[in-house]
Structure 1
Amino acid sequence: MSPAAPQRLRIAVLNRIFDSTGGGAERYSIALVEQLALHHDVHVFAQQINHHAPGVSYHRVSMPMRKPRWLNQLWYAFATWRATRTGFDIVHSHENTWHGQVQTVHVVPVRHNLFHGRTGARRLLRWIKVVSSPRLLTYLGLERLRFQPEKTRRIVVTSDNLGLTMAATYPGSRAMTTVITPGVTLPALPNQEDRLAARIALGLPPARFCLLFVGNDYRKKGLVNLLEVLATLPEQVVLAVVGNPAHIPEFRRRAESLGVVARVFFLGALQDVAPAYRAADALVHPTLEDTFAMVVLEAMAHSLPVVVSSATYCGISGLLSHGVNALLLDDPRSAQELGAALRLISGDEGLRRAFGRQGRLFASHYRWEDIARQQEAVYLSSLAASKAEARTLKRPA
């Protein structure tokens, strides 16, 4: 961590679900907490906790109502505000809350989704929808308070793409915003024995070409198109799907209708995705919307070649080079384009090895310990602004 830290900070981290199976935002928060706890006093406030790390204090926030979700979000914001008003140097929120000097944004703002590109009557209709919906009013109200300009507030976004969207949606956030991408811990590279052991443990065929898909929202991450394309690929190619088990029945039926159900292995949510990366031959991520896509970075750290949507759809792709360290899809909805990329990657071992080497090199520049230093610098910036504001208030009129 940065030697400039003046003290061991007492940090409150707000994340409703503190479980690595929750998704990329949760894994981002967990990895940062693990790094920060090596040098600071870190307290996690969450409603669901499935994690333990030395030096981290966990505080379970009550959940008097699971649904409606908007009411639970409002309760969580109030409960954590009450619990962290005093006693902390920094309150760092990964949630839609009105409080916290540091706000990390993982998703496109609600306001952008509702109003971007809509003018005239279409915009008016959206406002009518908003004012008649307690859910939307709550989310928009919390979001507006969350991004309200304050001298001590700092906003962290996970990609340049998301930073541009934030600036366009909430122009007052520009001066407060910093990009801090997700990171990785570089694993030891697996040999053939490791790969075979991982496949056996996961119930995957040992000798076939295995594509890997990782994502909790199967539809938004592009599994619909991927299953259709799988039906056009050689029988030797199989697909392992990691993610939310609630979607499995629907997509298993879709695989059956396409005649590929015997070639699709639904693994559900894995507490540790590393065995799936070790078992696979390539990651395919034809996402329709991702502010970054940690799974791509993690796969590259494991030297897996990746096929991923272009920067229009996926934040990490703005940092990648097509044909050098990844295959980028201009249109992830195009079965023709996705099929061509998968045929290329599955049929050319030399290309896979080259992408694996370049991907590993790319990932080595995004280690979690370096990401944590960037996060700490944001904390110190907020604290410096707070001290400067305090000095101003003490000056005589």
Structure 2
Amino acid sequence: MNVQSLAGHSAAPPRKLRIAVFNRTFSPTGGGAERYSIALVEQLSARHEMHVFAQEADHHWPGVTYHRVSTPMRKPRWVNQLWFATVTWWATRRGFDVVHSHENTWHGEVQTVHVLPVKYNLFHARSGVRLVLRWIKVVTSPRLLAYLGLERARYATRPGRQVVVTSESLRPIMAQSYPGCAAAVSVITPGITMPDLPVSVAQKRAARIGLGLPMEGTCLLFVGNDYRKKGLEALLHALVKLPDDVVLAVVGNAAHVAEFRAMAVTLGVDGRVFFLGALKDVRPAYEAANCLIHPTLEDTFAMVVLEAMAHGLPVVVSGPRYCGISGMLQDGIDALILDAPRDANRLAEVLQVLLEQKSLQNTLSQGAASFAMNYQWREIALQQEAVYFSAITAKEKAA
């Protein structure tokens, strides 16, 4: 990841902090939440002493100290979550100015929320018998009790506690789920590092060669680790209705490849779908593609959309009901918004219009790059730094 450093920023921080950051997986292949954390650590390491606590770390950056957290057992996951929370609490009880957790832990002044709260997923829009049945399910499940217990402690009001959400759409959900933390919530979106634009024909060709993609034709791009939740099924069905020279590159967790490759075979498009697996650097995929398709069913922000827009790619993305970033976008100006991402026929119609209209492609490409310019990591990191100092000030006043 090529991230422009904050080292040369004109405004020096009030003081250099010693900061602990928690991620069970600290790797660019982990997903958007992991790339978000990594980018902030890289930026802030120019101004502060950064310590990363992780069970798996595939990252090396000057000035960052890595602490490996043991993994006695990976499954059940809730037991591992409790273990990680306990070990990191013990290791960071003292000696740090700020503890920043991207995980479901009860400790840490700063808690960054990347997904919908467990409580919200379990109880939202349920009442009467449905609510009673859900409570029965919870009280008879050690897994759910553990997750809810950790989450309740994570968002409990305490001196210095700051809760960061990655999109405005997540703020009211947090307030509804945990009203006590509403005053402590702030929004810090993901960011990007702008590449040199436009992507040249030579760059695109080199990227396609490197990824094993066809040199000719239109390449749609899908990026996501949870293929089902991110809408790959609808996209495969839509691909059937598109011209034969349209291919699809799929980037993400290879664990799901077999299931969706079989689906592509059944639909008769297996020769047009290229499963690339998890990529440490997704940049070549953005360079190789003609547009990004993100028919997600659940994303609190969707960092991949912002990354694709930074590369000037036209984007087709689910609406605000499903995807946080969509609430910030204008349909037909900087993206095409899907009201019903599960509707493969409608998705195919939208893609057909996009593929046929060069002027629309140009409008979306220019709008995408212009939008992305407002979300660069340098400025995002300064917002995070301000949250750190707010947490410290609040703790000092309460002492």
Which TM-score applies when normalising by structure 1?
0.97
1:138-157 counterparts in 2 under 5 A? 138-157=146-165
Q: Does 1:324 align with 2:352?
A: no
Name 1:196's counterpart in structure 2.
205
Name 1:163's counterpart in structure 2.
171
Name 1:258's counterpart in structure 2.
267
How much does 1:387 deviate? 1.2
Name 1:249's counterpart in structure 2.
258
Q: Tell me the SS of whatever aligns to 1:22.
A: coil
Q: Does 1:37 align with 2:56?
A: no
Q: Is the 8 A contact 2:238 2:347 kept in 1?
A: yes
List runs of 5+ in structure 2 lacking aligned partners: 1-8
Structure-2 separation of matches of 1:349 and 1:245: 33
CA offsets, 1:176-229, max 9 Å, x none? 000000000001122000000100110100111000000000000000010001
Q: Tell me the SS of whatever aligns to 1:21.
A: coil
Name 1:230's counterpart in structure 2.
239
How much does 1:2 deviate? 8.0
User: Between the two proteins, what is the percent identity of the paired residues?
Assistant: 63
Q: Tell me the SS of whatever aligns to 1:156.
A: strand
Name 1:11's counterpart in structure 2.
19
Name 1:208's counterpart in structure 2.
217
Name 1:337's counterpart in structure 2.
346
Q: Which amino acid aligns with 1:254?
A: M
Q: Tell me the SS of whatever aligns to 2:126.
A: coil
Name 1:84's counterpart in structure 2.
92
Structure-1 separation of matches of 2:287 and 2:15: 40
Q: Tell me the SS of whatever aligns to 1:58.
A: strand
Q: Is the 8 A contact 2:220 2:292 kept in 1?
A: yes
Q: Is the 8 A contact 2:29 2:279 kept in 1?
A: yes
Q: Tell me the SS of whatever aligns to 2:29.
A: helix
Name 1:275's counterpart in structure 2.
284
Q: Is the 8 A contact 1:230 1:260 kept in 2?
A: yes
The structure 1 segments of at least 4 consecutive aligned residues displaced by more than 4 Å after TM superposition are none
Number of aligned pairs?
390
How much does 1:377 deviate? 0.6
Structure-2 separation of matches of 1:75 and 1:9: 27
CA offsets, 1:338-373, max 9 Å, x none? 111111111122211221111001000000010000
Which TM-score applies when normalising by structure 2?
0.97
Q: Which amino acid aligns with 2:267?
A: L
Q: Which amino acid aligns with 1:295?
A: V
Q: Tell me the SS of whatever aligns to 1:42.
A: strand
Q: Which amino acid aligns with 2:251?
A: V
CA offsets, 1:5-59, max 9 Å, x none? 3210000000100001010000000000000101000000000000011110000
Structure-1 separation of matches of 2:369 and 2:129: 49
Q: Is the 8 A contact 2:194 2:310 kept in 1?
A: yes
List runs of 5+ in structure 1 lacking aligned partners: 391-397
Name 1:394's counterpart in structure 2.
none
Name 2:143's counterpart in structure 1.
135
Structure-2 separation of matches of 1:4 and 1:380: 13
How much does 1:3 deviate? 3.1
Q: Among 49, 54, 74, which residue is 2:57 paired with?
A: 49
Q: Is the 8 A contact 1:2 1:373 kept in 2?
A: no
Q: Among 26, 30, 33, which residue is 1:25 paired with?
A: 33
How much does 1:4 deviate? 6.4
Q: Is the 8 A contact 2:13 2:47 kept in 1?
A: no
Structure-2 separation of matches of 1:335 and 1:272: 29
Q: Among 73, 78, 96, which residue is 2:81 paired with?
A: 73
Q: Tell me the SS of whatever aligns to 1:296.
A: helix
Q: Among 353, 357, 360, which residue is 1:348 paired with?
A: 357
Structure-2 separation of matches of 1:100 and 1:3: 26
Q: Which amino acid aligns with 1:145?
A: A
Structural RMSD (CA) = 0.9
